[in-house]
Amino acid sequence: MTTQTTASTLTGQSLIAGRPVTGTDRTVHGFDPSTDEPLEPGYPLIDEAQLAQATSAAAEAYQSFSQLEPETHAAFLEKIASSIDALGPEITARAMAETGLPEARLVGERGRTVNQLRLFAAVVRQGDFRGARLDSPNPDRTPLPKPDLRQRRIPLGPVAVFGASNFPLAFSTAGGDTASALAAGCPVVFKAHNAHPGTSELVGRAITEAVAAFDLHPGVFSLIYGAGASIGQSLASDPAIQAVGFTGSRAAGVSLMKAAAAREVPIPVYAEMSSINPVFFFDGALSGDAGDLRGRAQAYLTSVTGSSGQLCTAPGLVFVPTGEAGDAFLAAVGEAAGDFGGQTMLTKSIADSWNAGVEQLGGQAGVELVGRGSQGAGENAPAPVVFSASTAQFLDNPVLHEEVFGAASLVVRYDGVEDLVAAASALEGQLTATLHITEADHETARALVPVLEQRVGRILANGWPTGVEVGHAMVHGGPFPATSDSRTTSVGTLAIERFLRPVAYQNLPEELLPAPVQAANPWGLNRRIDGDIQLDG
């Protein structure tokens, strides 16, 4: 596929409640990161008054959208998916031009995006997320009658979603935060990431088309282009917005958290921010022959360098035992590193940050170079790098705990499980932790698992953390700073619960009850009645 910019089909406008709107502020462009050349069209950024149009329309849309019956609601999500599919080649081409990511990666990401929407459509039809509970009354109970109590979860209200730099589709305009918020019944005001504005416009038009096709209130979805600091803060502070979904840097995420907490009525911020995803090699996992070690080294570096390391689950920290087996593995990593070339990073600023982070990490006392790959084409494709240090150095130096966003990783050598427990206990919150073990290591690993449960959202065995399955049991979250709320996930069907809250109805007349808790069960939901789950039918 040739990398065309599709500028002829793009307008360079925000989409506010179904209307194309030209911003009044400065104009931004997407850039081809392999050349740093700007891409047309330019996107004028909106002002505060234009932002208010989007949030007000979302507030107006809430009442009707939040009460949408399940079949129409599910079909709406499926329509978004089919509209994105119809634009597939155009979306892929534009995303390639704006991000430097390869076609295969973006085709796969588009597939994940539409599959998420279809999965949430199935969730909407099934309906368990509504949390319907009924407690039967007992007027004869003494000393006080037992009331008729019914409970369901309702949508929070309009949600502000911020696009991620590293996933122009799956964590962007129609990605997981938008899909789960819409599935919950919450209108969405989406702030596009300025690094891939054209991709965002194409997907935003697909969502707008679906809103119109089902004759929904146009305020169900708006796509805005705005200055990251000012408009982002205003969006999180707007009284109409009731929750925030964000994927990005710790500094930006914390800034949104502070803005949301400082409001007259605070709101939740679900921010995915920083993670180095520790991997722990046990002795048994390194007891194979030289071929096994080379294969493990190749797999490690493949995970580190995938998408130029710009994945939130990239393994930035690996623990390897001291001794012969660990030495042999490290030697295999150093040898294999030369097989890996630099890939174009998403933006020049991200590449600059990576270079600064690598220089800082490599300059720390006791940190040694294990291996370095080759520079890719252009300045924004730096050579992947792996360093090493001891457990003592890791515990003593906070710099060794910091994320370097990109293809860089640190190997820490340890002497025994006591070292691993100490290191894991010192970690900040993480998205993942991975154990490379054999059956002979199970007893040793047993001491580490409870510590990791307090530090991470997902524990893997004998794999690599890059690649996040979208399903019912997935947790993509973790203690701060991996995410702002460790009780939630941003991937998988449980993500819908971030945008819901419970409401109870006591002795309310049947005619006034919402459908999920009416005695007749008109939506055919599975419900918990007097403590027992009763399946529809």
Evaluate the CA torsion angle 251, 481, 297, 420 in order and state its sign.
Answer: positive
Q: Is the pLDDT of residue 35 over 90?
A: yes
Q: Is the pLDDT of residue 1 over 60?
A: no
Question: pLDDT > 90: what percent of the chain?
Answer: 96
Measured between alpha carbons, how far is 23 from 16 in angstroms, rounded to an integer? 11
For CATH 3.40.309.10, the residue range(s) in the chain are: 278-461
Q: Which of 98, 186, 201, 312 is catalytic?
A: 312
E strand or H helix that includes residue 237: helix 228-237
Give 39-92 as a DSSP string.
Answer: EEEEEEPP-HHHHHHHHHHHHHHHHHHHT--HHHHHHHHHHHHHHHHHTHHHHH
317: left (phi over 0), alpha (psi -120 to 50) or beta: beta
Tens of pLDDT along 224-255?
Answer: 999 877 899 999 999 999 999 999 999 999 99
Tens of pLDDT along 51-67?
Answer: 999 999 999 999 999 99
The yes-or-no answer on residue 272 being catalytic is yes
Q: Which CATH superfamily is domain 278-461 in?
A: Aldehyde Dehydrogenase; Chain A, domain 2 (3.40.309.10)
* Distance in angstroms between the alpha carbons of the first and the last residue of the chain: 51
Q: 3 falls in which pLDDT band (50, 70, 90)?
A: very low
Q: What token pair was written down for 479?
A: 């203690």
Tens of pLDDT along 129-144?
Answer: 999 999 999 999 999 9
Contacts of 297 (CB under 8 A, 6+ apart): 329, 332, 333, 335, 336
Q: 4 falls in which pLDDT band (50, 70, 90)?
A: very low
Q: In what order do the strands lie in the sheet with 188-191?
A: 19-21, 14-16, 221-224, 188-191, 159-162, 243-247, 269-272
Q: Is the pLDDT of residue 447 over 50?
A: yes
Q: Which of 60, 109, 272, 403 is catalytic?
A: 272
Tens of pLDDT along 67-84?
Answer: 999 999 999 999 999 999
pTM score? 0.95
Q: How many residues does the chain have?
A: 537
Tokens 């805005």 found at: 224
Peptide bond into 41 cis (omega under 30): yes
Tens of pLDDT along 374-430?
Answer: 999 999 999 999 999 999 999 999 999 999 999 999 999 999 999 999 999 999 999
Q: Is the pLDDT of residue 355 over 50?
A: yes
Mean pLDDT of the chain: 95
Q: What is the pLDDT of residue 8?
A: 55
Nearest to 116 by CA among 185, 169, 195: 169
Measured between alpha carbons, how far is 150 from 137 in angstroms, rounded to an integer? 10
Q: What is the pLDDT of residue 2?
A: 34
CATH 3.90.1010.10 assigned to 13-22+39-273+489-497: no
For CATH 3.40.605.10, the residue range(s) in the chain are: 13-22+39-273+489-497
The pLDDT of 489-505, averaged and rounded, is 97
